Amino acid sequence: MKIVVIGSINMDYSAKVNKLPQKGETIRANEFYTTAGGKGANQAVAAKRLGADVYMIGAVGDDSAGKELCRRLEAEGVKAHGIKTVDTPSGNAMITVDVTGNNTIVVFAGANSEMNEDWLMENKNIIEEADYVIIQLEIPMETVKAAIRFSKSLDRKVILNPAPAAEMPEEIYKGLDLMTPNETELAEITRTTDIKEGAKQLLKKGVKSIVVTLGEKGSLYMDDTKEVYTNPYQVDAIDSTAAGDSFNAALAVGLSEDMSLEDALKFANAAGALTTTKLGAQASLPYRDEVNTFIKS
């Protein structure tokens, strides 16, 4: 099954320090890592590792990070011809983590902000061939809107992972087959901390179905006729980074393979749980065999 991810591609630069620097202070880092990230790229890699045929539409800068990001996506087997190179530097995040785990993060959208409707339309053949379209909110809202409108005009299934949470035009809700906020995003979008109430609000706005991811509490699916709560898998979680990305990708893969809703939700919970057992973003995204073995055991 073909899945297209329309979204962000970032390089993350992480430094480990004894304590976070104060204003005007220069400090030494103990360790330094360069890792590929961006919710779009993470979800594309996750879906590929779980067995889908994956296409990515996005933008990187004309710089070494941009080349490396495309190279890594291609090495994973994600089809990257829908990624354009622009003059703005590649999107990045500068992360500082101290020994107690506190962090500061500066994100620069960079090339991701150049991901516009024209580029989307230049790649419309990718969307035409896709079964599922997955979008997040790390590219301009106008592009998100255009991507949903175009995908719906072709009757493609559209999943929006509303992360990071943002105010969205009403038109967006009506074009979605599935929206997948986590608890915090749901609260920000709907201004209620009551999960069922929040999900109902989104259904009323026209979203066909909702899955709220609940971290170590599993997930809750709701549509107009049913609710499906899926228990979490018990794991020794050490780092929840990219659990949501893995969950979204797995859900799209499961649904695109015509798994029953219940099985697709279980599959997604398992992929999310497994992701928390390893450090990092893309480094922790599980492969299909691992998820299958984990579910059986």
Nearest-approach distance from CB 277 to ligand ADP, in angstroms: 9
Q: Is 244 an interacting residue with respect to ligand ADP (CB under 6 A)?
A: yes
Match 């190179």 to its residue by tokens: 85
Residue 286 Cβ vs ligand ADP, minimum distance, rounded to whole Å: 11
Query: What 3-state class would DSSP assign to 288?
Result: helix
Q: How far is the CB of 35 from ligand ADP (least distance, A)?
A: 16
Q: At closest approach, how far in Å is the CB of 233 from ligand ADP?
A: 5
Q: To the nearest whole angstrom, how small is the minimum distance from the Cβ of residue 39 to ligand ADP?
A: 9
Question: What is the phi/psi pair of residue 105, to 5°?
Answer: -135, 130
- Out of 123, 213, 282, 284, the only residue in the binding site for ligand ADP (CB under 6 A) is 213
Measure the CA–CA gap between 154 and 55, rounded to whole angstroms. Answer: 17
17 or 165: CB nearest ligand ADP: 165
Q: List the one residue from 1, 20, 235, 261 that touches ligand ADP (CB under 6 A).
A: 235
**Dihedral pair phi/psi, residue 34, rounded to 5°:** -115, 120
252 φ/ψ angles, rounded to the nearest 5 degrees: -65, -40
| Choice between 85 and 103, CB closer to ligand ADP | 103
**Identity of the residue, 29 or 237, whose beta carbon is nearer to ligand ADP in the bound complex:** 237
Q: Fill in the DSSP letter of residue 237.
A: -
Question: Is 51 among the residues that bind ligand ADP (CB under 6 A)?
Answer: no
Applying CB under 6 A, does 232 fall inside the site for ligand ADP? yes
The packing angle between helices 195-204 and 183-190, to 10°, is 60
Q: Interface with ligand ADP includes 7 (CB under 6 A)?
A: no
280 binds ligand ADP (CB under 6 A): no
Helix (H) or strand (E) segment spanning residue 264:
helix 261-275
Does residue 218 belong to the site contacting ligand ADP (CB under 6 A)? yes
Which of helix, strand or coil describes residue 212? strand
Q: Does 182 bind ligand ADP (CB under 6 A)?
A: yes
Separation of alpha carbons 124 and 182, rounded Å: 30
Q: Which of 216, 239, 257, 290 binds ligand ADP (CB under 6 A)?
A: 216
Decide if residue 40 touches ligand ADP (CB under 6 A).
no
Helix (H) / strand (E) element for 94: namely strand 91-98
Name the residues annotated as catalytic.
245
Query: Which is nearer to ligand ADP, 85 or 240 (by Cβ)?
Result: 240
Among candidates 216, 105, 87, 103, which has minimal Cα distance to 164? 105
Binding segment toward ligand ADP, per CB under 6 A, in 12-20, 54-62, 98-106, 268-276? 268-276
Structure tokens at 217: 């509490």
How far from the centroid of its chain's Cα atoms is residue 269's Cα? 15
- Contact code string over 116-155 relative to ligand ADP, x by CB under 6 A: ----------------------------------------
Asked whether 14 and 117 are in contact (CB, 8 A), the reply is: no
Helical H runs in 90-213? 117-122, 124-129, 141-153, 170-174, 183-190, 195-204
List of residues contacting ligand ADP (CB under 6 A) = 182, 213-216, 218-219, 232-233, 235, 237, 240, 243-244, 247, 269, 272-273, 276
